[in-house]
C-alpha cells in the first residue's frame, strides 16, 4: 500500500513561512500571480530561494516559484485556512490561473488576525494553531511526533567510505544491514518490536534495484548509491517505529517540526550513533506544550555542565586544550533537557552576558577556526561567531 493510499501523503513544502506569506496576501484579494510574486520576493529577501528543493536555477521568468505557490495554497486548503478553489496542477496550466483569487475560512481569518498584530503572544498562538492543524491533517506527521515523544529515534547515516568498508570482501548488504540495525537499536523502546537485519537487506536491495535497474546503461555514481541506501535505511527505521512516512516526507516533517520548535535533531549526541531525533513539546487537548525557559531553563544549565564532561570524555585529544566544540556540548545539553538547540544557544548567550548565573564558569572562543558540520547551527553571541567552549568549576559555587 502506498503512502498516499494510507493517507500519509505530505506536500513537498519545506518552508512553513510560505504559508504565512500566502495567508497575509489573501485578504487583499490577491491573485495566484500576486501570491507567486510575494513568495518569490520573500524567498529572495531571506536568501531561501536556492535552498528550496526543486528551485536551484537563477533563471527568472513568469513561472519561477509557481510550484511553491501552488503547494502553499493547496496546503492552506487542506488545513482549512483557505476555501477550496482550483490551482494549477502543472506549469503548463499556470497562465489559466494567474487571475484566480482565494478566500479565507473562519479559521484562516483567525490565523491572519494573529499574524497581523505583530504581537509575540499572538504569533505564538498562531504557531500553536498551525502545529495542531498540521498534526490533525497529516497522520504521518502525527506518527512522527508520537514516536519521538515515546522514545527518541536514532537513524544511522553513512558515507561512501563507510559503506565501502562495510561491503568490502563481498559481504554485500548484509554487513551494512547488521551495522545499521545495531546502531538504530542501541537505544530502542521496550514496547516496540525490534527490526531484523534480513528485512533491512531486502529493503536496501529493492531500493537499489528499483533506482538502478540491471539494464541501466550507465553505472550509478557513488553519491547516487549512497543517497539511495540512506533513504532506504531511513524508510526502514521510520516503519520500524510505526511512522508511516517515506524518506522525503520524513525530512519535510522534520523541517516543519524544527520551525515549530516541537522536535529537534542532531547527529552529535554522544552514545547515539546516528541522526538522533527527540521531542521538545507535547500535543495536549488540541494545544502545544513546549519545554521553554520556564519548564527547562534550570535543566539546561545542569546539562551544559554534564554535557561538557561527557564530550570531554569522548574527545581526550581536544580535552587537553580545555576547549571543546560548542555544537557537540550543545547537542548533549539539548538532548538531555529535551529542548531545541536554539534554546540552549539563548541560555548560553545569557550566561556569557551575565543575565543569568550558573554554578560554573563559561568561556567561548573561535578556537581552531573550524566551523561545525553543516547539519549543526553556528553559535553566535553579540554578532560574533564562536566554535569552541570551555566550562570550568567555579570554586566559589557548588555545581
Same-domain pairing of 206 and 302: no
Radius of gyration of the chain (CA): 23
Cα–Cα distance, 197 to 181 (Å, whole number) = 6
Give the mean model confidence (pLDDT) for residues 334-360: 96
Domain hosting 123: range is: 17-137
DSSP letters, 135-185, are HHH-HHHHHHHHHHHHS-EEE----HHHHHHHHTTTTTHHHHHHHHHHHHT
pLDDT tens-digit map of 186-200: 999 999 999 999 999
Would you state the cell numbers that stand for residue 385, as one nine-digit string? Answer: 561567531
Examine residue 4 and state whether it is found in any structural domain, yes or no. Answer: no
Q: How far apart are CA 136 and CA 141, in angstroms?
A: 9
Residue 393 has pLDDT above 70, yes or no: yes
Number of alpha helices (DSSP H) and beta strands (DSSP E) in the chain: 16, 10
Q: Are residues 251 and 312 in the same domain?
A: no
342-369: burial string, b at 16+ Cβ within 10 Å, e else = ebbbbbbbbbbeeeeebebebebeebee
Residues 281 and 316 in one domain: no
The residue behind cell 547516487 is 224
Shared domain check, 153 and 101? no
pLDDT for residue 56: 42
The confidence score (pLDDT) of residue 96 equals 96
Same domain, 279 and 300: no
The total number of structural domains that make up the chain: 3
Asked if residue 49 has pLDDT above 70, the reply is no
Q: What is the pLDDT of residues 250-279, one digit of tens each?
A: 999 999 999 999 999 999 999 999 999 999
**What is the average pLDDT score of the chain?**
90
Quick one: 50 and 163 in the same domain?
no
Round to whole Å and give the CA distance between 83 and 227: 38
- Domain end, chosen from 83, 111, 137, is at 137
User: What pTM did the predictor assign?
Assistant: 0.90
- pLDDT at residue number 289: 86
| 156/265 same-domain check | yes
Domain assignment of residue 65, yes or no: yes
- Does the pLDDT of residue 172 top 80, yes or no? no
108-122 mean pLDDT: 92
The predicted pLDDT at position 170 comes to 54
More confident residue, 108 or 169: 108
Out of 265, 288, 311, pick the residue that ends a domain.
288
Residue 399 lies in a domain: no
Of 6-15, 220-229, 336-345, give the range with the top mean pLDDT.
Answer: 336-345
Tell me what pLDDT residue 244 has: 95
Q: Does residue 71 share a domain with residue 187?
A: no
Residues 125 and 94 in one domain: yes
Considering the domain architecture, whether residues 57 and 115 belong to the same structural domain is answered as yes
Given a contact cutoff of 8 angstroms between Cβ atoms, the answer to whether 371 and 387 are in contact is: yes
Examine the domain organization and report whether 155 and 255 are in the same domain: yes
What pLDDT shows up at residue 317?
75
Q: Are residues 130 and 242 in the same domain?
A: no
Mean pLDDT of 364-371: 84
Amino acid at each position: 500500500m502506498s503512502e498516499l493510499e494510507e493517507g500519509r501523503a505530505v506536500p513537498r513544502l519545506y518552508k512553513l513561512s510560505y504559508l504565512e506569506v500566502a495567508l497575509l496576501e489573501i485578504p487583499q484579494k490577491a491573485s495566484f500571480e500576486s501570491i507567486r510574486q510575494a513568495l518569490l520576493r520573500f524567498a529572495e529577501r531571506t536568501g531561501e530561494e536556492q535552498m528550496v528543493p526543486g528551485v536551484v536555477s537563477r533563471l527568472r521568468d513568469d513561472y519561477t516559484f509557481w510550484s511553491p505557490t501552488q503547494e502553499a495554497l493547496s496546503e492552506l486548503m487542506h488545513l482549512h485556512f483557505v476555501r477550496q478553489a482550483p490551482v494549477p496542477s502543472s506549469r503548463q496550466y499556470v497562465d489559466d490561473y494567474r487571475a484566480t483569487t482565494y478566500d479565507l475560512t473562519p479559521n484562516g481569518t483567525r490565523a491572519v488576525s494573529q499574524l497581523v498584530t505583530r504581537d509575540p503572544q499572538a504569533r505564538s498562538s498562531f504557531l500553536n494553531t498551525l502545529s495542531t492543524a498540521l498534526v490533525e491533517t497529516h497522520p504521518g506527521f502525527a506518527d512522527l511526533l508520537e514516536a519521538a515523544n515515546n522514545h527518541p529515534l536514532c537513524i544511522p547515516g553513512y558515507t561512501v567510505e563507510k559503506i565501502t568498508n562495510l561491503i568490502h570482501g563481498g559481504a554485500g548488504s548484509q554487513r551494512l544491514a547488521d551495522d545499521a540495525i545495531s546502531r538504530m537499536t542501541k537505544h530502542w523502546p521496550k514496547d516496540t518490536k525490534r527490526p531484523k537485519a534480513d528485512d533491512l537487506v531486502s529493503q536496501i536491495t529493492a531500493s537499489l534495484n528499483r533506482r538502478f535497474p540491471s539494464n541501466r546503461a550507465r553505472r550509478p555514481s557513488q553519491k547516487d548509491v549512497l543517497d539511495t541506501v540512506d533513504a532506504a535505511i531511513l524508510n526502514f527505521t521510520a516503519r520500524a517505529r510505526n511512522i508511516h512516512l517515506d524518506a522525503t516526507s520524513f525530512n519535510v516533517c522534520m523541517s516543519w517540526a524544527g520551525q515549530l520548535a516541537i522536535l529537534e535533531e542532531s547527529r552529535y549526541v554522544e552514545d547515539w550513533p546516528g541522526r538522533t531525533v527527540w521531542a521538545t513539546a507535547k500535543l495536549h487537548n488540541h494545544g502545544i506544550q513546549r519545554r521553554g525557559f520556564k519548564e527547562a531553563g534550570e535543566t539546561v544549565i545542569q546539562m551544559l555542565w554534564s554535557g561538557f564532561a561527557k564530550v570531554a570524555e569522548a574527545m581526550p585529544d581536544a580535552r587537553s586544550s580545555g576547549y571543546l566544540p560548542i555544537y557537540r556540548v550543545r547537542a548533549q545539553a539539548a538532548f538531555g533537557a529535551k529542548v531545541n538547540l536554539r534554546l540552549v544557544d539563548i541560555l548560553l548567550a545569557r550566561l556569557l552576558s551575565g543575565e543569568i548565573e550558573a554554578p560554573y564558569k563559561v568561556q567561548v572562543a573561535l578556537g581552531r577556526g573550524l566551523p561545525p558540520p553543516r547539519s549543526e547551527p553556528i553559535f553566535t553571541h553579540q554578532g560574533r561567531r564562536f566554535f569552541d567552549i570551555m566550562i570550568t568549576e567555579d570554586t566559589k559555587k557548588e555545581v
